[in-house]
Structure 1
């Protein structure tokens, strides 16, 4: 079996593991302790609590439109991984909800522990090119559209913060203040873990590529990502004359960028996190 195939299988296995961890945390730790997940999963839980509908069906109902949008704007490969993670997450919720399990401790400690497990699971999913939260897909689409229109690069952070602010205000109004505050703790703990293991996935990523085939890489980046590059002449001590390309993309565009770079032999690249671009 080729190395690329092994890596692909491993990525799906880790997405499945991450989805199991996330569903375990939500079903057995967060919900029994009056806290909810954030993002579209949080919206699904609110609908579940208000209507009494089955939680997995609520997750499917809320996430499906975002999954379709992900297919249109982010491509088939991303959608397959997102669909696999989401199906496992929904099956996990249905399975764990029927298991008698209780953490006999304070709500605060239980929610902090559950948030850490949730964050670790979501980190595995994000690092392997998947997603089980529609708010991240929405943020990426908005940022991509703004970038295409203005020619500038934007962080996903404002969109994610606005979306989750809406979720927690809804929890405060529909459920109660305690649930809203505990859910906010979940968000803080989970995103702290995610930021640690994904290097701030919501931020802009700078890709620096050193290559002797700049025209081919630039053409692929323009065609597949609709992005442009800054080109600089450079020289290697061994390779000699080459070019250094700098390109700015989102975290969800990284897998496709890696494929582009891998298809051009002899290229070397690095990835950096950019908090802000000044103009």
Structure 2
């Protein structure tokens, strides 16, 4: 069962990457709009230099992928690498496809942004990533959390990164491209939020278990996180322990693996908008 779920996760990541590359290559770029995040950076450099977009995609994303391996682990990096490779190959393939969406720029960009958002939703939902800005935001949040003991949302980092991207588009390309690209961001992130339940927000994982010490030890060792402990009682299972842990979206896949290694544990995940101290 676990092996089947692992295979399915890669299938959905590949499907999402194909959808994203289709949207960027055949809808967004022909209509003077660009992707956001590090993909947007690669597109800007490609437009300015005239060199092949796929090469810049690899060059821009690779440092973030290496950083992801160092700070976020091997499992995440493999999925991110698979997604980025398929996305890049998809760009190369779709660039040679004759396709024209005969409609207004506004409608084309809105439609393309929705396809992009759905593709990215599949990638994020199954533990992958093809955008270095999300890796950067997660690393910054992780470092801040480790240093201060507080939980932070990735939203400010992502907004700041993309604000710089769109400002650059405005300055070096033109205002129309910047505004159309901003529309892509709004539409795509709206779709992503709908299907991933605000992936940039803090996640509360509630775990009901009879093996609290083992789970707490694994969480501390693999995620460098701590837990709040509460004694509880089930109507059937009897005495057990409830653990509360706060993590980022990109740490969910590791948390799920930890919980699956402790049979009999039950968990739920919810989104936290704000933590007041």
Same fold flag (TM > 0.5): yes
Q: CA RMSD, aligned part only? A: 0.4
SS of 1:132's equivalent in the other structure is: coil
Paired residues, what number?
A: 277
Can you give the 5+ residue segments of structure 2 that lack an aligned partner in the other structure? none
CA distance in 2, matches of 1:4, 1:268: 16
Match of 1:52 in 2: 50
Could you give the per-residue CA deviations for residues 201-243 of structure 1, whole angstroms, max 9, x where no partner exists? 0000000001111111000000000000000011111111111
Matches within 5 A, 1:58-77: 58-77=56-75
C-alpha displacement of 1:5 = 1.1
How does the TM-score come out when normalised to structure 1? 0.99
Match of 2:120 in 1: 122
Could you give the per-residue CA deviations for residues 111-141 of structure 1, whole angstroms, max 9, x where no partner exists? 0000000000000000110000000000000
Match of 2:102 in 1: 104
Match of 2:79 in 1: 81
SS of 1:273's equivalent in the other structure is: strand
How does the TM-score come out when normalised to structure 2? 1.00
1:194 aligns with 2:217: no
Match of 1:262 in 2: 260
Could you give the per-residue CA deviations for residues 48-90 of structure 1, whole angstroms, max 9, x where no partner exists? 0000110000100100000000000011111111001101001
Match of 1:4 in 2: 2
C-alpha displacement of 1:191 = 0.2
CA distance in 2, matches of 1:83, 1:31: 23
Can you give the 5+ residue segments of structure 1 that lack an aligned partner in the other structure? none
Matches within 5 A, 1:1-279: 3-279=1-277
CA distance in 2, matches of 1:10, 1:242: 33
CA distance in 2, matches of 1:90, 1:53: 14
C-alpha displacement of 1:4 = 1.1
C-alpha displacement of 1:258 = 0.3
